[in-house]
């Protein structure tokens, strides 16, 4: 059902009447307008049909007929817009989705945190190092991470570059997922170089062999090749944080009502900007896209009810995905009451668990990290709580990379606090590495089977 923009008193720019948190201050208005005009004139990154299809898939996930795997970088960077980074991220997402599809016996909807995840909310507007204070790094779409005055000046031209880098990323993702890369007959295409040394290699390959046997069997029985397993769909998502940029990508399309954000399939509203009366919720509420909403420990049942009614007033299937991120020692306190609050509204939403953002901690030397056990602990509790509340956990949300980094502690390979310095690459949040991500997928399956048989 398309939104009736007129009766909702909404437009892609109506957010400008509200308080917009986490926005940079651009100094040159003319440059800003020029850059936004440029972004507005560029072709869209995604189509309205894809957006509508994703909404259908998310509606299915809410009913338990699909499982959502949303994952990728905390923040993409322009420098990491390379074949190696993009393909290794796709490979781990493919491997995880294979484990989940097979283990949960459910189709997996794959949504990347990529092709647009360039804007970051920060806890402070400034950063001080050795007595020098500069504006905070707000993601490559705003400024540069280097700690110099020049680098930290917000540059509107970066929005144009973000759009181009998103297009380059998406081009490779689309080509790979439509070509032979996605062919289930050749899962070895998704093996990463260091896979052979993984403690999970054997378990993974045993599963792949069994899938191959099943495919062979089906091909013999049906006497035809199963071409449909040769392509897969990857959808994109990012935090809709930098509102002028999101507005420039919000478009009407021929023969359809309403306004679509054609910069991504699934924009989400972050925890720091999710107040019902503020600009980010205002912007998101009128879009045709399905919307993600981060829900943290500070959320109250009353505010969540208001958000559900604001963001999904027509109770449209697939419209709203609640992404909970409490922390492993807080989820037990908060989630049950919020599930009940949403039930009170009579509306249906898709619940998914982000076990990353509530479990961030700092080591003694100030390194940001997360513990595998806390991440898994929050996920397992989410599964338990939804089952106990007669609700349904329809997906998961991870910050991960296909690379062999050392940013999170724990997992089968036993990364210790003292190992974090070996390959710590993230500019913002610590990500699960390849092994930890695959282990997480197997662990979800184990827990799910223990609960649901
Ligand atoms: C994120 O997803 O990178 C993020 C900043 O999350 P949250 O808004 O939940 O803190
Ligand atoms: Co993050």
Over 70: is that where the pLDDT of 3 sits?
A: no
Helix (H) or strand (E) holding 127: strand 126-129
Range with the lowest mean pLDDT among 27-31, 200-204, 365-369, 403-407?
200-204
Q: Which residues contact 371 (CB under 8 A, 6 or more apart)?
A: 359, 361, 408, 409, 410
> Could you tell me the sign of the dihedral formed by the alpha carbons of 122, 127, 133, 137, in that order?
negative
pLDDT at 218: 66
The arithmetic mean of pLDDT across residues 234-242, rounded, is: 98
Domains of the chain: 5-452 (3.20.20.70)
Q: What is the CB-side half-sphere exposure of residue 316 using CA atoms within 13 A?
A: 22
The arithmetic mean of pLDDT across residues 57-85, rounded, is: 97
pLDDT at 413: 85
Over 60: is that where the pLDDT of 4 sits?
A: no
Token pair for 202: 């054997």
Separation CA 184–CA 232 (nearest Å)? 10
Residue 234 vs residues 70, 168, 172, 435: alpha-carbon distances, Å: 10, 15, 11, 21
Shortest-distance Cα residue to atom 10 of ligand 1? 271
- Residue pLDDT, tens place only, 93-151: 988 998 999 899 999 999 999 999 999 999 999 999 999 999 999 999 999 999 999 99
Model pTM score? 0.94
8-state DSSP, 368: E
Other Cβ atoms within 10 Å of 29 Cβ, number: 9
Separation CA 331–CA 333 (nearest Å)? 5
Over 70: is that where the pLDDT of 194 sits?
A: no
Other Cβ atoms within 10 Å of 417 Cβ, number: 14
pLDDT at 113: 98
Using the atom order of ligand 1, give the atom closest to the CA of residue 117. 3
- Residue pLDDT, tens place only, 9-18: 999 999 999 9
Shortest-distance Cα residue to atom 2 of ligand 1? 74
Separation CA 236–CA 234 (nearest Å)? 7
pLDDT at 280: 98
Share of the chain above pLDDT 90, in %: 80
Shortest-distance Cα residue to atom 3 of ligand 1? 74
| Contact 386 CB / ligand 1 (< 6 Å) | no
Say if residues 228 and 14 touch (Cβ distance below 8 Å). no
Q: Ligand 1 center to residue 277 CA distance, Å?
A: 19
Separation CA 99–CA 450 (nearest Å)? 16
| Mean model confidence pLDDT for the chain | 93
| Contact 121 CB / ligand 1 (< 6 Å) | yes
Token pair for 26: 């651009």
8-state DSSP, 116: S
pLDDT at 63: 97
Range with the lowest mean pLDDT among 26-30, 188-192, 404-408?
188-192
Q: How confident is the model at residue 205 (pLDDT cuts 50, 70, 90)?
A: confident
Q: Which residues contact 158 (CB under 8 A, 6 or more apart)?
A: 140, 141, 142, 143
Ion ligand 2 contact residues with beta carbon within 5 A? 74, 429
């Amino acid at each position: 059902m398309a939104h009736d923009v007129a009766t909702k008193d909404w437009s892609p720019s109506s957010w400008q009447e509200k308080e917009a948190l986490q926005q940079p201050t651009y100094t040159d208005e003319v440059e800003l307008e020029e850059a936004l005009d440029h972004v507005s004139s560029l072709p869209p990154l995604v189509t309205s049909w894809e957006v509508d299809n994703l909404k259908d898939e998310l509606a299915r996930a809410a009913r338990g007929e699909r499982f959502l795997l949303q994952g990728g970088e905390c923040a993409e960077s322009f420098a990491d817009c390379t074949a190696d980074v993009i393909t290794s991220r796709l490979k781990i997402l493919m491997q995880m989705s294979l484990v989940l599809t097979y283990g949960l016996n459910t189709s997996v909807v794959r949504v990347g945190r990529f092709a647009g995840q360039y804007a970051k909310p920060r806890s402070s507007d400034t950063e001080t190092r050795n007595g020098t204070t500069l504006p905070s790094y707000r993601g490559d779409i705003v400024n540069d991470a280097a700690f110099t005055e020049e680098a930290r000046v917000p540059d509107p031209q970066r929005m144009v570059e973000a759009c181009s880098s998103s297009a380059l990323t998406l081009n490779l993702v689309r080509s790979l997922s439509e070509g032979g890369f996605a062919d289930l007959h050749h899962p070895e295409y998704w093996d990463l170089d260091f896979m052979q040394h993984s403690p999970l290699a054997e378990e993974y390959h045993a599963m792949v062999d069994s899938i191959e046997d099943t495919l062979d069997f089906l091909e013999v029985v049906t006497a035809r090749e199963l071409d449909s397993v040769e392509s897969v769909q990857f959808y994109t998502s990012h935090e809709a944080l930098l509102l002028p940029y999101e507005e420039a990508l919000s478009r009407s399309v021929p023969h359809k009502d309403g306004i679509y954000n054609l910069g991504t399939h699934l924009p989400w509203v972050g925890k720091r900007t999710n107040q019902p009366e503020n600009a980010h919720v205002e912007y998101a509420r009128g879009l045709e896209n399905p919307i993600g909403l981060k829900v943290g420990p500070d959320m109250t049942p009353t505010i969540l009810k208001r958000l559900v009614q604001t963001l999904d007033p027509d109770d449209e299937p697939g419209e709203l995905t609640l992404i909970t991120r409490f922390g492993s020692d807080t989820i037990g306190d908060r989630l049950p009451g919020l599930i009940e609050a949403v039930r009170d509204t009579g509306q249906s939403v898709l619940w998914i668990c982000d076990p990353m953002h509530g479990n961030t901690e700092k080591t003694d030397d100030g390194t940001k990290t997360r513990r595998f056990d806390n991440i898994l602990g929050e996920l397992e509790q989410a599964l338990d709580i939804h089952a106990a509340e007669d609700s349904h956990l329809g997906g998961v949300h991870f910050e991960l990379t296909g690379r062999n980094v050392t940013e999170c502690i724990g997992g089968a390979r036993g990364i210790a606090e003292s190992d974090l310095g070996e390959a710590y690459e993230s500019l913002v949040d610590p990500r699960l590495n390849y092994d930890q991500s695959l282990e997480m997928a197997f662990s979800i399956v184990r827990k799910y089977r223990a609960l649901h048989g």
